Chain A
Amino acid sequence: MKRIAISLAALTLGAVAAPLGALAEIAPGDVQFDDYGAVETSLTGSSGNADEGRKIMTEKSLGNCVSCHAAEAYADVPFHGEVGPWLDGAGSRWTEAELRGLVINPKKTFEGTVMPAFYKVDGFNRPGDAYTGKAAPADLPPILSAEQVEDVVAYLMTLKDE
């Protein structure tokens, strides 16, 4: 009887905690883009951490933006790609909402672009399980979490023209 009471309590707690967590975050399928691909609302409801954003952008296992984009701002990181434009000044060229939209799904801003969508979980052709070459799990996670997207946006906003 005691054991049942405890697991019931755990269940109830879980049931309450999950929707609360989900409410705070905008899921990939619920993102609202404007006509130009910008996303006004923060995915987490708060602003990101720019230092974390820099790490995410420059580390291969995270966003790995550096594989396509160079920037003076992270010149200390080796091997900058040339597939996308330099990112210095991105925070002056674009608004925060536009940058958020670009990271979530740049195809809404640049039709047919080579740049991948970092907060998107469906609509892919043969999606894989990260870099294993195997089929993706049914609940494929986005490449970056909501929090990581906000961190990246916060960092991009620091890349102002001198």
Chain B
Amino acid sequence: ALVLAAPAFADEDAELVINGEIEIVTKTTAPAHLEGHLDEILSGWRFRSDETQAMEMDDFDNPGMLGAEAGFEQFETVMGSEGKSCMDCHDGVESLANVRPTYPKWNDDKEAVYTIQMQINDCLTERMGAEKQKYDSKTMLNFEAALASVSRGMPVNVAIDGPAQSTWEQGKEMYYTRFGQLDLSCANCHEQNYGNMIRADHLSQGQINGFPTYRLKNAQLNGAHGRFKGCIRDTRGETFSPGSPEFVALELYVASRGNGLSVEGPSVRN
């Protein structure tokens, strides 16, 4: 008989409760816009091994929480020529608990879909006289981890209509576009083949409710755009850069595929 040296799979019915109190929805009915594509949406957590899953159940075991803690500290740190910290204008990270579930989001002033990192850069440069931070830099991912941590358990709920709609359509088109010499789309792997092994990897639905994710593979926080970049690179494709308009659109679309799952970041993945 064939011996598959596959990693130990998690119990299909395991449920995620963090610190014994924050209940996380990792499986739910798909949002209406996915009709004909998916009936059920599943967090990437459900596809990881028992050990990796367990690391996310307790903040002391979750290395991503160190990034969140650093993010809380950054929030109170004075940065830039105006002598301000984030605390000067925002009543603590908790006051921004609505941010992670609803971003990317249309920004009226800038007339564009904004990711959390774009918003933070505006506050840094336009309101604090501070340096712009690089997309997916450690500082940015720490901020994101702090913002996600206070929203854990809240349902992802990004708006796909109104002024954000055309960006959403652009992201959707990208999701179904095949890239690279391997000629593969996001959907080929994450919609048609989730649950299947691709070599040693158990394919998930490629949801981003868990971002930023602490990956055991590189032992640091990873942003959604970094993941997108890696996945397109793995199609033997010319990839896009974190922060590019293409990835902002893709982030909005992929986020909307997870509408209804709980915010779970900073999560743990392999």
Instruction: Please report A residues at the B interface, Cβ cutoff 8 Å.
Output: 60, 64, 66-68, 70, 72, 75, 78-83, 114, 116-117, 120, 124-136, 140, 143
Contacts and interface: CB of A to CB of B under 8 A. Distances in A.
Interface string B173-185: 0000111111110
Contact of B232 (A66, A80, A133): A133
Contacts of B184: 114, 116
Given A75-B3, A114-B192, A128-B236, A136 B198 contact: no
Contacts of B196: 81-83
Interface in B124-157: none
Contacts of B5: 78-79
A66 to B, nearest CB: 7
Q: Is the interface of A mostly helix, strand, loop or mixed?
A: loop
Interface residues on B, range: 20 to 34
A60 B180 contact: no
A103 to B, nearest CB: 14
Contacts, number: 94
A125 B234 contact: no
A128 B239 contact: yes
Interface in B188-212: 188, 192-193, 196-200, 203
A80 B4 contact: yes
A132 B181 contact: no
Given A79-B6, A116-B182, A133-B232, 6 more contacts: A82-B196, A82-B198, A117-B183, A124-B181, A124-B183, A131-B233
A83 B2 contact: no
Contacts of A70: 2, 4
B243 interface: no
